[in-house]
Each structure stands twice: as C-alpha cells, then as structure tokens.
Structure 1
Amino acid sequence: MKKETLTALYDAHRTEFLDALRAVMQIKSVRGPSRPDAPFGSGPRAALDAVAKLGTAYGFQTKVIHGAMTAIQWGDDDQHYIGIVGHLDVVPAGKVAWHFPPYDLTEQNGRLYGRGILDNKGPSVACLFGMKLLKDAGYRPKRTICLILGSDEESGSADVPRYLASQAPPDFGFTPDCKFPVVYGERGIVNYQLTTPITDGSLDNIGEILGDQASDHVPDQLEVSVNGQAVRATGKRVPSNAPELGINAITRLAATLLSKLAVRGQFADYCRWLVTKLADQHDGAGLGMAFTDAASGKLIVTPYQWQKTDQTLTLRLAMRYPVTYHEADVTQALTAAILPGTDIKAIRSLPSVLHDRRDPRLQDLAQAYEQITGQPGQLVTTTGATYARTMPNIVAFGPSFPGQKGIAHNVDEWMDENDLKLNMLIDMAAMMKLGGMTD
C-alpha cells in the first residue's frame, strides 16, 4: 500500500485514534502493590484491560495473559506468528511540576504531551490502531500478527516470563520502544552498588541525602544537611542512557560540598574521588574504562543514586558497555578505580543482544522505514534496554527518529503528532511485509 493511501487512512480516523489513545493515557499505570490478578499493580492492570477492550471492539481475538500482558491477535495461528511487543506501564511523573497534566493527553501546536506518549503508550496504541485500519481496509495477514502489550517493562520485564509460561514465543517481530531505523544490537548493561565505609567520624555532621533518585534518570535536585545547614545541588534530569544531555546532581552536590569547605577527612576524599572520576566523564575515562567499538560506540556511565547511612556511603552506577565487550571487562576496570575498602556488587546485569544483520526480516523492516520516510533504513545499535532482551526473536524498531534523544522519562514527555502518525504508517507497512499482505 502506498504511503499516500496509508496517510489518508490515518487522516480519516485521526479523532478516533486520539480518543482511544487519550483513554489509555489517562490511566496512571505506574507499578504498585501486587495482587493475584494484577502482579504489577492496579494501574498497569487497568491499562491492560483498557487495550483488551479496544482490541475486542476492533474485531480481534484478545486475552490478558496471567494479569501481565495483553495479547491482541490477528489470525488463527497462535504457535507461529509475528509479534509486536510494546508496553503500557510508565515511570512516575516525578516530583518536578509539569506544564501539562502528566496522566492525560494534551495537544498543543502539533505536539502531544503526557507520560507515556513516547514511552510507550503512544507507539503501542498506534500499532493497535494501525492493525485496525488495515483490517477494516480488507487486508488479512498470511502469517498471524499478535500485538503483545506488557505491564512491567519499566521495572524489569518480569511480565515476559509470565507470558512465555503458557504462550509460544513469536517467530519474529519488533518492539516500538527504542529508535529507528532498525536496531540489530543492544549494549550490555550492568548496574553496580559501591559501598564505602567512612571510619574517621567525618560523616557525623552529615544528614540524609534527599532527592528523587532512581535508575531510569539522572537526578536533578539533591539536598543534604551539613551541621544543620542545607546544601543543595541542581542539575538537569534526562534518561540515564543519555547522561551527556543532562547535569547530574550527584556530582554537582559533591563539588558544592567541597567548594563550601563543608566536609573533611575521608568524606572530603570521597567527594573528591566522585568529582574527579565521574563528573562530566560519561564515557568512563575517569574510571579507566573508556571502552569503545565501531558497532556501538563508547561506554556510558551514569551515577544515579547516592545515599548515606550511619558511617557508610553507597553509590549506584549504571553502565552501558559496547557490544564487543563483556561485563567482566567493566568489573575489572571499576574494581581498580574504586576507593580502598569499597565493596562492589553487581545489582543488575543484562548481556548484550546481537541479531544477524543478514536476516531478511530485518531488511523487511528497513524497507518499511524507507518506504514511508524516504530515508535510508540502515541497521543500528542502541544504549537502551527493550523487550528484545527478554522476548525471543524480537528487535527494536522505533519510535524515535534519528537525532531525537533524551525525551522519555522527562517532565513534559512529548511526541510530535506527525511523528506518531509516521510511526503508525511505518508499523502498518512493516505489518504488511512481515504478515505477507499484498495489495
């Protein structure tokens, strides 16, 4: 189907699509307390039910699998199928005020705002609506297409094992939760916890380090009391896989403490180590691990949590290392760089993922991208972590276009409507190729 025809389908049903998307985005699908029918909380489960209702209304076979993922199936073969795997859970809105309601869909000057519009409710619902438009236009896939929407991608993807416990994995497919053109490789990820004892009493007058600190983002507002006086540091929040776009409040706070001469002894030595080794050195050079390769570029290191408890300091680091390196390489270099007496522990470990660049199905995706955008559909790698690591035979494909980075997980998360429209058109073209549909 030509781009012009696909565009006309979108334009004719734009209001219906945005209404459906708004209903899903109004659900606060942040992970919460588990219950038997909602293992990841009532919000994520409500989002699964909402898209299941849409899938049924659109005429597809629909079911919620073990309270974890919704499967919306187009075709009768549930053993051999093309999978499209998105997610409906979102990270919290954060403590910084938004200019738009975070759990809603707001349109302004051609731009759409709301938590999940990019990551990943917007692209996921676009895939569902694209399936509907193709079906309503009279198309039928020769190979079953199943849209699988999860509820725990942001917290570890524990929804995927629940799905695979009773369902066959896809033969091939994609997740619209990364970037274009086609992602054939994802870097290895390892998060470390560094625990350093402070034995000279230099933490006695230091309070708790306060602020919004989590592994998904660079912290932007931190505060600690020194002798009863508040010392603050302000940075710029960005996703943790793009630290170079932000300002890390952890290293800012350490530098501020040193500049104010507010610290002494081992704690001062610790702050100097933190600033020297990590401040604005996102490629790991300060830690002696400036690893790089041609396929995926430089290593990325992000300090994301700094805590003080009694006479101990704990720092957490997220590392994304190039696809030709191994976790052992990173651990060895980090062990040589830490302060004496520091305990090092890996608390998250995801090996690299690489797919065969020669797979003709990757070329099908590249051609779908080229058909709609007119741009080269080259294969790329990513610093992110997607369902491609946990769902077999899946690669990342969209939604961000080249040059777009650091939008997800931020205040006022946004996506231009034209980009979301292009996503739908690309996904429809991909479904036609992978599903064996012809004009």
Structure 2
Amino acid sequence: MLTSFKQIIEENKAQFYEDLAQVMQIRSVKGQPTEQAPFGEGPRAALVKVLELSESYGFETKIVNDAVGYAQWGQDEEYIGVIGHLDVVSEGDGWKFPPFSLSQDDGRFYGRGILDNKGPIMACLFGLKLLKELNVPVNKTIRILFGTDEESGSADIPLYLSEEKPPQFGFTPDCKYPVVYGERGVVGYEIVTGFSSAELAGLSEFIGDQARDHVPDKLEVQLNGQKLEAIGKRAPSNAPELGKNAITLLAEKVNRAGVATGSLASYFEWLENSLSEKHYGEGLGIDFEDADSGKLIVTPYALNKKEHSLVLSLTVRYPVSVTEEQVTKELEGHLPTDSELLITRRMKGTTFPKNDSNVQKLAVVYECLTKMDGTPVTTTGATYARFLPNIVAFGPSFPGQKGIAHNKDEYMDEKDLLLNMEIYMQAMLALLQ
C-alpha cells in the first residue's frame, strides 16, 4: 500500500499553480538562435525561470551547453532522470482563452503547454520539492531535466550528452499512460511531382498554416481563375484520424469543381484517392501493422507549389517490427506519374525491455493509484526516450485522452494534473529507494 500524498498536494496546490503560471506565460516557441539561446529567446527565458524556481525550492541547478537545464537532489554521479521540455509549438489561431496564460474554467486549465509539456514537468519538479520537504528516505540522486528543443527535433539532447552522463534510468512525462516501452519509427517524405510551366500557370501558391506537428485545418488556392478553400479540423500529426485534413479536402473540391485538366487533374485525383480518410497507408500500399504497435499511420501535412513541381510532405509512423526500407520500397510503387520520393527526416523506432524492474515499478505505481491496467504499451508519438538513453515515456495523458496537444485551447483537467503529480511523486520515490 502506497503512502498517500493527496493531503500535502492539496495543501500546496495554490503555490504550484502560481509557479506554473509564471512558466506558462512565457511564449517559448522556437526562434532565431542568439548567444546563450540556440533555440531562441523564448525557450531560454522559460528555462531561466524554471531554474530560478528550482533554486528557490532548494535544488542544485545547472544549464548544460545552453540547451538543457536541471534541478538536482543528491550528490552522486549516477542519477535517476526525469526529463520534460519547456519549448512549445506555435499557438495557431482560434483560441477562446489566452494561449500564454494559465486560465482555469470549470475545473479545467487552458494554455499552450499545459499538457505538452510545461504542466507535467512542473508537476514533477513541484512533486520532488514536496518529497524533499517531507524528508522521505532516498538513497539515489535524481535530476529533473528541462529540454528546450523537443518540438523541433530534440537537438538539445546531443548538446547535453556531450557534457553529461545519461541517467541510470528515468522517464519523460510527455506521452501517455501506462508506461510506454516502445516508440514507432518515424520517417518524413517529400513526394515531388513534376509538371510543365504551362500546366502550373493557372495554379497559385497554397495558403494555409502547414507544419509538421499538426494536421492542417485550412488551405486555399486559386486554380484557373477559381478560388477554392478547404476548412478542416486541426489535430496532432500522430493522430490524424482525429482531424479533417485540409489538403485532402482541397483535393476533393478541385475534383468536384472540375477546374483542373490533364496531368494536374490526375494528380488531384491521386491525392484524394490515395490519402482522403486513409490514415493507415491503405491508399499507398504501406498498410503495415503488428500486434505491439497496431497500424502504420500516415499524415500529409503540407502541399506546396515550386517552380516546376508540386511537393507533398508526409510523415509516416511505422510499427516497431517494420523497417524504414520496407515502407520506402512499397511507397515508391504508389506515386503519381513523374514523381520522385525524397526522405526529409528519419527517426528509428525504439524499445526498452518491458519486463525491466524499473518499468515494473512505474507500472505498479500507476495501477495502485488509478486501479487501471498498467501493462506497458507502445506509442505513435516521438519523445525524448528516442534520444536520451535509459528513458521511457510515462504519462501524462490517461487512456482515452488523445488529440489535445498542439490544438487550440490546449487543456488539462485540474484533477488530472494533480493526479499526475501524485503518480510522479510515487514513481520518483519508488525509483529512488
């Protein structure tokens, strides 16, 4: 039976919210690099603020290579690591609440980063503060690490590892429950399709918010004198089935309007037939799946006009038993005419032994506090666990909670935020004893 921390969390939650609000109000979106801020002034400002709070809690702090900071309890070289990130994706449009503020309404907190990932990593930090104040017996050192480039490729982690040892074990509160022991491989593609200048003469640039982190929800274009606009629904790129993709919606409009001719008409027909509501690769011959991971997921996230081509950008998340080479080979056989396939990024899948004793400790804590099944799982997402050795993902989203991060009015229920703190306090204590 675990010792309950509910009362001390309840007694201190007002201070936690006050401290969290200071971090939430910093617009820590990646920006131009400057001295001491390789990922922009916003992420740097958030890091400085969090380490100020960490020092006020009585922890030793350090910034490593201007990329990752940490708060440490203990003096050993070997340490348990808990790593989250302070950088956030751009806010986008259409918010009901101020994106860079900690807003509360009807038992729910709103703000960019409340779930991904300022809320959870601050819950870990504040939870460790409470453990320290309780003088709980521990015999290991722990670091809470704060990254500043997770949303843009995790270039901060190599900078950290160039100066510091990796943790013995640890977790990142930046995914879902229960323990995530495996992350799918991710590969980014550009399908570059050639056209003559005459064929593209009547086509304007595509206008819309297109980025790798989300399903585009609005896209417009002028084609042969007719304006066409598609309004979809934004969703995280690792959960495209929760959104409505403006790229494929626009292709459908082009096809229904009959304004494209020749090879351009064929291209938009291919786009609709291959990708519209076909999130699992079935329209491209890449519908791989396995028991551990489930189905492959494909997300078209950008369509752009170049001088003599149209460029469609895709992200594919493939099961842990499948290779990038298998995906590429099959995809090459399902391209439109006069197309070239380019790989723009690659992240191999990662797995950690799900029967590891530390993984099982996390599973037990989760089961005890939630009364839900703690059997370790895999994910479609990409976390720091791919880049920092000996790390697994653990929370903060509970089963059934999906598609909240990277959206407008990003939220986290107050009860879930406090339950996360309790889970993380118990998890850290279990790993430190």
TM-score range normalised by the length of the shorter chain: over 0.9
Please name the residue that 2:208 is paired with.
211
Q: How does 1:44-193 map to 2 (within 5 A)?
A: 44-77=43-76, 79-94=77-92, 96-193=93-190
Residue 361 of structure 2, aligned match among 359, 364, 372: 364
**Post-superposition shift, 1:228?**
3.7
Please name the residue that 2:315 is paired with.
318
Structure 2 Cα separation of the partners of residues 326 and 237 of structure 1: 29
Equivalent residues of 1:198, 1:311 under 8 A apart: yes
Task: Say yes or no: does 1:290 pair with 2:290.
Answer: no
Residue 379 of structure 1, aligned match among 376, 379, 382: 376
Percent identity over the alignment is 52
Equivalent residues of 1:236, 1:247 under 8 A apart: yes
SS at match of 1:112: strand
1:166-218 CA distances to partner (integer Å, 9 max, x unpaired)?
A: 11110100000000010000000001011110127221111000000001000
Name the amino acid aligned to 1:301.
V
Aligned pair count reads: 433
Name the amino acid aligned to 1:346.
I
SS at match of 1:287: coil
Equivalent residues of 2:69, 2:146 under 8 A apart: yes
Relative to structure 1, is the Cα distance of residues 356 and 229 closer, same or farther in structure 2, using a 3 angstrom cutoff?
same
Task: Say yes or no: does 1:303 pair with 2:291.
Answer: no
Which stretches in structure 2 are left out of the alignment for 5+ residues?
Answer: none
User: What TM-score do you get using the length of structure 2 for normalisation?
Assistant: 0.99
Please name the residue that 2:240 is paired with.
243
Structure 1 Cα separation of the partners of residues 371 and 252 of structure 2: 48
Structure 2 Cα separation of the partners of residues 159 and 435 of structure 1: 26
Equivalent residues of 1:199, 1:311 under 8 A apart: yes
Please name the residue that 1:6 is paired with.
5
Structure 1 Cα separation of the partners of residues 177 and 274 of structure 2: 33
Equivalent residues of 2:251, 2:268 under 8 A apart: yes
Q: How does 1:229-268 map to 2 (within 5 A)?
A: 229-268=226-265
Structure 2 Cα separation of the partners of residues 261 and 58 of structure 1: 65
Structure 1 Cα separation of the partners of residues 226 and 308 of structure 2: 19
User: What TM-score do you get using the length of structure 1 for normalisation?
Assistant: 0.97
Equivalent residues of 1:74, 1:141 under 8 A apart: no
Name the amino acid aligned to 1:84.
V
Name the amino acid aligned to 2:84.
G
Structure 2 Cα separation of the partners of residues 230 and 273 of structure 1: 21
CA RMSD of aligned residues (A): 1.0
Structure 2 Cα separation of the partners of residues 145 and 26 of structure 1: 27
Name the amino acid aligned to 1:379.
P
Equivalent residues of 1:201, 1:311 under 8 A apart: no
**Post-superposition shift, 1:311?**
2.5
1:263-292 CA distances to partner (integer Å, 9 max, x unpaired)?
A: 111111000000011110001011111100
